[in-house]
Chains A and B, each alone.
Chain A
Amino acid sequence: MIRPALTVERALWWGPGLALLLILVFAPLFFTDFYLSQVITKALWLGIAAASLIFLAAYVGMVSLGQVALYGVAGFTMANLVVADGGSTIAWNPWVATLAGILVAVGVGLFFGAIASRSYGIYFLMITLAVAVLTYYFFAQVTELSGFGGVNNVTRPGIVSNPVTDPQNLFYIALGASAVVYVFVRYLARTPFGLALQGVRDDPSRMRALGYNVPLLRTLAFGLGALIASFAGILSVWWNTRISPGSIDLSRTIDVLVIAVIGGLYRLEGAWIGALVFVALDNWTRGLDIVGQRFNTVIGAVFLAIVLLSPGGLMGIWQAITDYIGRQLSGKPPARPSAGPADEARTASNSPQPS
């Protein structure tokens, strides 16, 4: 692969991202503890949840509503295996419980992935929606594991410290996890496995004809999505120090979908951008009298505006701006850097899916 030279457009595309990263690395210097914890850290782990959805949507063509359920599986598993109020009485080391939570979530992800792997489009969406509802009711009904009130005062690994009084550690952990997820997915997309996934996204029939086991690839991809989602689940439990069925109900599922769409469903970066906008808007509108704390109305309006104006989300808007400025500066016809699978994905999603 030939590396394109540094162009104005590339600088425009990546510059703000790097600036944002720098601000984030030094965020504890600029923001109050409350803002660092309740807005930025929350946006980071919600961003990871959205990233698992965007990974599936953009690289494998699977728009899943099950990601919140899968992060719930990880979170509930972890919370039940350590000392906590409510849930099971097992008391493992928090690190072992964390690992177990991730493994169980991946296992559950592979299981549901196998079930859903032969479905496409709206049918796949419905199966993952069923997973979300099933998981919610499972934890709401099985009071030995949770019940409505959930599991409270979950013991965290020592390194996390108290997220209320000392939020810096958890912030850096969430930032690190986000970076790992981002780099991992970007790397994965260039491996033969990642290319095969993108092949499945674009034309499953042709991939089958070429000898690929398409359901297996889709199942594995769903398992990987569960792995990413499980990070978000574990972080949410560390951050909240509790988890309840309310943490993974249908409205949280929709929240994550809204975040992904606002950020840009086919841009990995969009996950965190969308999450940041979502959480900041939530926090801001709660203090506003005019909207009377009706956050859902505001986010609904923003969502509608985004869907109507820019199906590519905020990242799509940013793309349009950099394209435009780049064109004005260079006076050349648009020549965009290959920064992601945006165009291919859009083409794929517009064409009817074979079944």
Chain B
Amino acid sequence: MRVSTEGGRVRLWALLAALVLVLVGTVAACGGDDDDDDGEATPTTETGGTDGEATGEVIKIGVFSNNEGAFAPFEGQTFGGAMLPLINRGATPVSGDPTDGVENATIAGHPIEIVYGGSDSTPDKAVEEARRLVEQEGVDILVGPLSGSEGIAVANYSKEQPGVTFVNGISGAQDTTLKVRSPNFFRFHNDGTQWTAGLGDYAYNELGWRNVVTIGDDYDFPYSQIAGFVAEFCSIGGNVTERLWPPLGEEDYSSYITQIPEDVDGFFMGVGGTGTVAFVKQYEQLRGNLADKIMGGIFMTDPVILKELGDQVVGVVTAGMTSGDSQEPAYLEYTQQIEDSYPDLAGTGSSVFLYGYYTAMEAIAQALEQVDGDLSDEHAAFRDALANLELDAPLGTIKLDENRQAIMDNFLQQIVEDQTGDGVPDVKTLKTIPEVDQTFAGAFSPETPSPDRTNPACEEGTPPPWTEQGGGG
């Protein structure tokens, strides 16, 4: 750049200032690398143990979720869920915003240092973030990620890091545990397929649906969800005539809605994230009320989305691993704890995002307590404790199968008009399907094709035991 003589000096100084700023940034970035080797606290992290009680070695736990992309609205819930087990063990929230984390966390006498991260629902970014937390920050245990395709990529990455234990956040693709089967990757919640247990049965036997269309975002989590619905609905004689796959993060669903034939009995709605609200509103504009036409995935009953949707979705039947109307004392205590810790999250206890991250951190805490925080020998004792843990969670016991994948209850539920007076529709649990396992009563195995746009095929077969045809009624 040629500097003109008049005023050139002022401009040059401005340029120099900008250069210095950038250089300082770069140098600080390089410097940040060295700090972590000494175990010094960087600005992101809070070291516990100031109360003098915790004397053990510091355990570093990384927690990451999505702070960009279609699932960014759920970031607060995920962090809230991950922090709650620590708060219940004496940690104090930094602020009312869960993403600010907690301080003075201890588990089994060990100070817990939390390192936070975020990605954007793409597998690339998730692995990049996981690598930063594992390789640069040096975490012992990593909790995350949030989204389906992210989970498969991070589970694959975990094989390269045998010294670190990975516990899934809330990413729900089937392949993550059924196909990848990484020995140090654990998932303490059901996958997308398991979450649909009971829906196909209800559609066929209660609603009398025979011909159904499915619609879901074009990536691994909805593939898994719709795989579960198809496997169950078709096994008892239903017919899925078409499967529509709009891209994740789509904003205009009108062209997909017009592809849904007018004469189908109903359709399964697996559009998630920021798309759920857009889809429902656009459907109403194009085709009128959808409440008696659709079954929803886990997103329809998410408290945040339900608030947005309001009465439009009253009557819709969904299924998932949480039941918002549970009156179990453990569940009420859990929702109260959320409200006390993070008033902004009041009423979101039934969010799978919150519950998934909660069960992950709670499982870690209980396993660490069992082994007194012993992470020696590549976490051997700790992993053994995790694998054999019977987690007494607020909505029922969670245990793991041999692929370190959760087996837990699933709840069939209906969205009903507001009864609590908060202006948000409520949910009513219709049925509890106990201990749904990942094979979906034998429909899936490591050898069956991965759920995708066309798999599994819609075929009559052995009905799962929880269906009427399977003897469950």
Chain B interface SS verdict (over half):
helix
Asked if A351 is at the interface of the complex by the 8 Å CB criterion, the answer is no
Q: Per a CB cutoff under 8 Å, which of B26, B127, B161, B452 touches A143? A: B452
Whether, in the assembled complex, A92 has its beta carbon less than 8 Å from a beta carbon of chain B, the answer is no
User: Are B118's CB and A150's CB within 8 A?
Assistant: no
- CB within 8 Å: A-B pair count: 168
B43 and A288 within 8 A (CB): yes
B281 at the interface (CB under 8 A from A): no
Contact between B42 and A280, CB atoms less than 8 A apart: no
Inter-subunit contact B12/A324 (CB<8 Å): yes
Find out whether the CB atom of B124 lies under 8 angstroms from the CB atom of A242.
Answer: yes
CB distance from A252 to the nearest CB of B (A): 9
CB distance A309 to B15 under 8 Å? yes
- Determine the chain A residues whose CB is within 8 A of the CB of B55 once the complex forms: none
**Chain A residues within 8 Å of chain B by Cβ, number:** 63
Residue of B1, B137, B160 near A317 (CB, 8 A) is B1
Residue-by-residue, is A278-320 near B (CB-CB < 8 Å gives 1, otherwise 0)? 0011011011111011101000001001100111101011111
Q: Which of A153, A246, A281, A311 contacts B25 (CB 8 A)?
A: A281
Q: Does A35 contact B (CB under 8 A)?
A: yes
A280 to B148, CA, bound (A): 28
Is there a chain B Cβ closer than 8 Å to A119's Cβ?
no
A312 with B30: CB separation less than 8 A = no
Question: Across the two chains, which residue of chain B brings its CB closest to A334?
Answer: B2
Select the residue from A85, A150, A276, A287 with max chain B CB neighbours within 10 A.
A287
Contact A320 B12 (CB under 8 A): yes
Provide the residues of chain B in CB contact with A178, threshold 8 Å: none
Closest to A284 in B: B29
Which residue of chain A lies nearest to B135 when distances are taken between CB atoms in the complex?
A34
**CB of B218 closer than 8 Å to a CB of A:** yes
Contact pick for B3, options A148, A244, A323, CB 8 Å: A323
Given A147-B218, A320-B3, decide whether A247 and B149 contact each other with a Cβ distance below 8 A. no
A178 to B116, CA, bound (A): 34
Bound-state CA distance A312–B128 (Å) is 31
Given contacts A149-B149, A162-B160, A287-B44, contact A343 B33 (CB under 8 A): no
Residue of B nearest to A42 (CB): B128
- Tell whether B18 is near chain A: CB-to-CB under 8 Å: yes
Tell me the nearest residue of chain A to B42, going by C-beta: A287
Find residues 351-402 in chain B having any chain A CB closer than 8 Å to their own CB: none
B residues bordering A, Cβ < 8 Å? 1-3, 11-12, 14-16, 18-19, 21-22, 25-26, 28-30, 32-33, 37, 42-44, 67-68, 99, 116-118, 120-125, 127-129, 131-132, 135-137, 148-149, 152-153, 156-157, 160-161, 173, 217-220, 247-248, 452-453
